[in-house]
Structure 1
Amino acid sequence: MTPDARSPSAWTGAAIAAALVGLFLALRGSLDDTTILVGLAAICVGGSLGARRRLPVLPRPAVAAAADRHAVAEALLANIPDPVILVDRRAVVIEANPAARALLPLMRLRHPLSFALRAPDVLDGIEEVLRTGAPLKTVYGTRVPLERAFEVQIGALPMPDGSGPNVVLFLRDLTAARRLEAMRVDFVANASHELRTPLASLLGFIETLQGPARNDGPARERFLAIMRTQAQRMTRLIDDLLSLSRIELREHVAPTRIVDLGALARQMVDAQAPLAVERGVAIRLEAGEGTYPVLGDPDELLRVVENLIENAVKYGGRTVSVALSRDTDPRRGRQVVLDVRDDGPGISPEHIPRLTERFYRVDVASSRQQGGTGLGLAIVKHSLNRHRGRLSFESVLGAGTSVRVSLPEHPGRDDP
């Protein structure tokens, strides 16, 4: 007996074929969003009909083939990273992939979608698609547990039995793109603000020196000192921006030169000693015998160590400890570890995830007073990305902060 063309097994096979053709065309860039939506819906319908309707009596090879096609359809749907939901004409959920279930944990099959998705624009969009048959797009956002943004593509899916269309929803995650755009806007705004402030100060003092303080010697000396400080601030900011730009341009190129991280740490501890003495801070270096070889760019790694030690001296307590050690990571192998610790006031937990953002400061006034640009830890993060390293923070309020850097150890080292 051959299966009827309207049987679930035949429709499952057609759905898989449509989905595979759709995915092939999508990879070649010749498929629009609506066609992709229909292809995804075909997977849902094929899987749903094959699983929920009673199959006709088929020969064993045909039964096995139908089961295989159904398994392939479920596997395709499960591996789509974006949420896909199929609902009927009453907006009752017929099928959903794992991504949709993870996004909407309250969603249940054969229950109205509105029980789990309380978004009037999406629910009204389903009614609009059922009424007109034309696909549409809307937006959906979540705030708990994380703030996320989705573009929801809603399309009608005609049913083979002529009972009327169902509706498929494809949710495209726009969170990363929105965050990237926000970061770009913030970067331009922050860079402009950081440059505008010292420029305004310089212009004001220049006008004063050209006018009321033209012949006032003591005032001129005082104003010139302030102008020098502001010019140095702009110079540091521009230097950091150029450094960050150069690092990002080469971030995909892994360095090949062998560098002794221990030697760089000793050099920078000595270089920061005068600043530490001026501020009454004691720097202690803890390192074993021998070298700590890694593959790296010496200038970039020196900047990494400098930024971490300088931050600890400026914003930490009375003691800064710079420790070098070796560790073994089960996945990444042997590591050289640099740990910079201080006994300062610590950092609140809500600030730690944002410490490496450009121009982000825990204490804006203190950072500017200390001459910081807000780019130091961003430079550290991107430098370590290029060196295939890791950066982590541990901090307890009132008990200090520890910044840990891990870099792959060069395999040719000799154990001390």
Structure 2
Amino acid sequence: MADMGEEGRSTGRTVADRLWTSRWLLAAGIITIVAVYVFADVSAYVLLPALAMLFGAAMLPSGIRRQSAARAAAIEASGLQRLSGEYLAAAVADPLIIFDRTATIVHANAAAFAAFGGIAPGLSLSLKFRAPEMQALLDSILSGTVASDAVDYTEKLPVERAYRVSASSVGHGTDLYVLVFKDQSEARRIDRMRADFIANASHELRTPLASIAGFIETLRGPARNDPAAREQFLQIMQNQTGRMARLIDDLLSLSRLEMKPYLKPGTEVDLRQTIESVIDSLGPMARDNGVAIEREFAEGPINVPGDRDELFQVFENLLENACKYGQSGGRVVVSMARGGDRSEPGIDVTIRDFGPGIPEEHIPRITERFYRADVETSRTQKGTGLGLSIVKHILTRHNARLTIKSEVGKGAAFSVHLPAR
């Protein structure tokens, strides 16, 4: 009733303001017409119709505005009458549950059924959500302590999901309340990845920095006048600075890839020529490692949509890894063939080595940043732990995928599946 009274007073003030404005306009018009009548000697027969028209014009906007406001209110009322709580709940993409004063579920939308399952009208929320934070949230809302509140809640099964749960009353005097679950799982995962990335990057940079600082201190002290030790230490320091430079280059490359949007098709790349260029550029390194690179290419032109520089980087990383970590096998086979079907034609490029292989438990995580199946071997081969992560990001931009197959003692095969369109 208080709201109705306030609304009435507001409407009364609006009408009074409009009338006051109309009076001022009418008075100004009357003064103008009378002045013309007096000084220009106009007939009274002209004066009276002019005053009538002025009065109507002064009152017309107010009348039109009142009619428009009434029509808008009628349209709004008729539209809201057709709505129901069920329709509104269904329109919400997040899980939403409506419950009463006894914490009994009255309605749940489809997103709530998909997220939690086993939810039906008549079920007690206190039995469905037993976590202490959810119990405290329900108690605070139902007791009337607060009109709305929010807590963080984690659902453990079937998979762990993190939610920000908001609770509030519905309307006035309805004795109904609503819970809305905002999924925060992806944001939490990204936050953890960012924290892990910073920690790993700091660790990777701190190690060579500590080594360089130690050798500088030695060169300025005990090894000041030892030419042999000085040459050895300077060589180690140069290797460590090179390691830091490679790491920073890979970090910058990864950052640039993450900031780029998904690649739009349009530019075609000659895949055969790109891979031939990669093999030629890595030929000296392969010979130094005692590895022979073999080709098994399909006949005819092989073109794919994409960015040549980025695809060059993909196959350079994969072939370099095969030559470094599979050098004990003595050879690396680079094969390229047409795959897929007529509806989704594609090109499959496989780089296979015959080295020690990768243990099966490492394969799901090998494309993560800084993850290494063998830390010592990776550092010996001057790896940064970011190469396969860069490969994964580039292939994602190209709507492509990477498949890894390996067997310990028999080598590993990295297959890139690129769409032909």
Q: Which TM-score band applies after superposition, normalised by the shorter structure?
A: 0.7 to 0.9
Query: 2 CA distance for matches of 1:311 and 1:14?
Result: 69
SS of residue in 1 equivalent to 2:143? helix
Change (3 A) 1:78 1:283: farther
User: Is this contact kept in 2: 1:83–1:97, CA < 8 A?
Assistant: yes
| Residue 179 of structure 2 is aligned to residue 136 of structure 1 | no
Q: Shift in Å at residue 147 of structure 1? A: 2.6
SS of residue in 1 equivalent to 2:301? coil
**Deviation per residue, 1:118-173 (Å, 9 max, x gap):** 212112211210112511000111334433211000112257xx5x5222110000
Q: Shift in Å at residue 301 of structure 1? A: 1.2
Query: 1 CA distance for matches of 2:200 and 2:369?
Result: 9
Q: Shift in Å at residue 15 of structure 1? A: 12
Query: 1 CA distance for matches of 2:368 and 2:109?
Result: 34
| Residue 176 of structure 2 is aligned to residue 166 of structure 1 | yes
Change (3 A) 1:84 1:306: same
Query: 1 CA distance for matches of 2:170 and 2:188?
Result: 30
| Residue 121 of structure 2 is aligned to residue 109 of structure 1 | yes
Query: 1 CA distance for matches of 2:393 and 2:79?
Result: 43
- Kindly provide the amino acid, as one letter, of the partner of residue 196 in structure 2: D
Aligned to 1:267: 277
More helix by share: 2
| Residue 293 of structure 2 is aligned to residue 293 of structure 1 | no
Q: Shift in Å at residue 345 of structure 1? A: 4.8
Q: Structure 2 stretches of 5 or more lacking a match?
A: 1-75
Aligned to 2:370: 359
| Residue 80 of structure 2 is aligned to residue 17 of structure 1 | yes
Q: Which residue, 136, 139, 151 being the options, matches 1:127?
A: 139
Q: Which residue, 191, 196, 202 being the options, matches 2:212?
A: 202
- Kindly provide the amino acid, as one letter, of the partner of residue 136 in structure 1: D
Q: Shift in Å at residue 250 of structure 1? A: 3.4
Once the two structures are superposed, the pairs formed by residues 26-45 of structure 1 within 5 Å of their partners are: none
| Residue 403 of structure 2 is aligned to residue 392 of structure 1 | yes
Aligned to 2:384: 373
- Kindly provide the amino acid, as one letter, of the partner of residue 94 in structure 2: D
SS of residue in 1 equivalent to 2:229? helix
- Kindly provide the amino acid, as one letter, of the partner of residue 113 in structure 2: R
User: Is this contact kept in 2: 1:152–1:171, CA < 8 A?
Assistant: yes
Q: Shift in Å at residue 246 of structure 1? A: 3.0
User: Is this contact kept in 2: 1:107–1:115, CA < 8 A?
Assistant: no
Of structures 1 and 2, the one scoring higher in RCO (CA 8 A, sep 6+) is: 1
Once the two structures are superposed, the pairs formed by residues 169-180 of structure 1 within 5 Å of their partners are: 169-180=179-190
Q: Structure 1 stretches of 5 or more lacking a match?
A: 1-12, 21-42, 48-72, 411-416
Query: 1 CA distance for matches of 2:228 and 2:260?
Result: 49
SS of residue in 2 equivalent to 1:325? strand
Larger Rg: 2
Q: Shift in Å at residue 360 of structure 1? A: 2.5
Query: 2 CA distance for matches of 1:282 and 1:384?
Result: 26
| Count of residue pairs brought into register by the alignment | 343
Q: Which residue, 228, 233, 250 being the options, matches 2:238?
A: 228
Query: 1 CA distance for matches of 2:165 and 2:78?
Result: 22
How much is the aligned-residue C-alpha RMSD, in angstroms? 3.0
| Residue 200 of structure 2 is aligned to residue 190 of structure 1 | yes
Give the alignment's TM-score, normalised by structure 1. Answer: 0.73
User: Is this contact kept in 1: 2:107–2:120, CA < 8 A?
Assistant: no
Change (3 A) 1:312 1:239: same
- Kindly provide the amino acid, as one letter, of the partner of residue 154 in structure 1: A
User: Is this contact kept in 1: 2:108–2:120, CA < 8 A?
Assistant: no
Aligned to 1:56: none
**Deviation per residue, 1:289-324 (Å, 9 max, x gap):** 222112332222111001111222333462533211
Q: Shift in Å at residue 189 of structure 1? A: 2.2
User: Is this contact kept in 2: 1:104–1:117, CA < 8 A?
Assistant: no
- Kindly provide the amino acid, as one letter, of the partner of residue 96 in structure 2: V
Query: 2 CA distance for matches of 1:390 and 1:80?
Result: 34
**Deviation per residue, 1:60-80 (Å, 9 max, x gap):** xxxxxxxxxxxxx2xx64453
User: Is this contact kept in 1: 2:152–2:164, CA < 8 A?
Assistant: yes
Aligned to 1:338: 349
Aligned to 2:7: none
Change (3 A) 1:341 1:380: same
Q: Shift in Å at residue 86 of structure 1? A: 1.8
Change (3 A) 1:249 1:126: closer
**Deviation per residue, 1:37-59 (Å, 9 max, x gap):** xxxxxx5xx33xxxxxxxxxxxx
Query: 2 CA distance for matches of 1:148 and 1:242?
Result: 32
Change (3 A) 1:122 1:198: same
Query: 1 CA distance for matches of 2:357 and 2:80?
Result: 59
Aligned to 2:394: 383
Query: 1 CA distance for matches of 2:132 and 2:420?
Result: 55
Change (3 A) 1:351 1:145: farther
Query: 2 CA distance for matches of 1:314 and 1:143?
Result: 42
User: Is this contact kept in 2: 1:89–1:165, CA < 8 A?
Assistant: yes
SS of residue in 1 equivalent to 2:277? helix
SS of residue in 2 equivalent to 1:138? strand
Query: 2 CA distance for matches of 1:354 and 1:126?
Result: 40
User: Is this contact kept in 1: 2:98–2:105, CA < 8 A?
Assistant: yes
- Kindly provide the amino acid, as one letter, of the partner of residue 97 in structure 2: I
Change (3 A) 1:345 1:77: farther
Identity between Structure 1 and Structure 2 (%):
48
Aligned to 1:68: none
Once the two structures are superposed, the pairs formed by residues 49-88 of structure 1 within 5 Å of their partners are: 73=87, 77-78=89-90, 80-88=92-100
Aligned to 1:408: 419
Structure 1 window deviating more from structure 2 (358-367 vs 345-354): it is: 345-354
Query: 2 CA distance for matches of 1:14 and 1:97?
Result: 25
